[in-house]
Structure 1
Amino acid sequence: MAQVRGKQTAIIEAEKLNLTDNHFYFSLLGYLHTDIDNAKAISYFEMAQQKAKTDNDKLLLNKKLNDLKKKNNSYPC
């Protein structure tokens, strides 16, 4: 429970940054929402993937997305 509260606090603080042109921002929000709201986490990882500029970043985000979708079982891979 403490980890969830910690993530919720981190979400509030991260959202204050409002770095909407930065794929790392959306990746962070995706990570923080994982296991709290997986649908929202998936959405954030998808936004991060769209904004990523390098192939390596896109591949890493694709792996995170696929892993989370498998875990969530509500999104087809």
Structure 2
Amino acid sequence: MTTVPIEINLEFTPNPNTLKYTLNRRLLLTGAENFKTRDEAEGNSPLAVKLHDLDPVSGIMIGPSFITVTLSSQGNLRELNR
């Protein structure tokens, strides 16, 4: 069995406070899930919970093979991309 490494690519969006990460793995079969708060993510998406723990994340959308993260300000982009 061959293990394929997870590839994550960063894409910029027209909104300077939103970053899009594309993956070579499927996260959802169809559709997308939005998590504006940590409470919305709790019990639904461990990944969204962890991302909401980073300040100043104000929204997360998880799609079939992408994640977008919206920040309330651009102040902590480095922390997000670690």
What range is the shorter-chain TM-score in?
under 0.3
- The TM-score, its normalising length taken from structure 2, stands at 0.21
Q: Rg: which structure is higher?
A: 2
- The TM-score, its normalising length taken from structure 1, stands at 0.22
- If each structure's helix is expressed as a fraction of its own residues, which one has the higher value? 1
* Relative contact order, higher structure (CA 8 A, sep 6+): 2
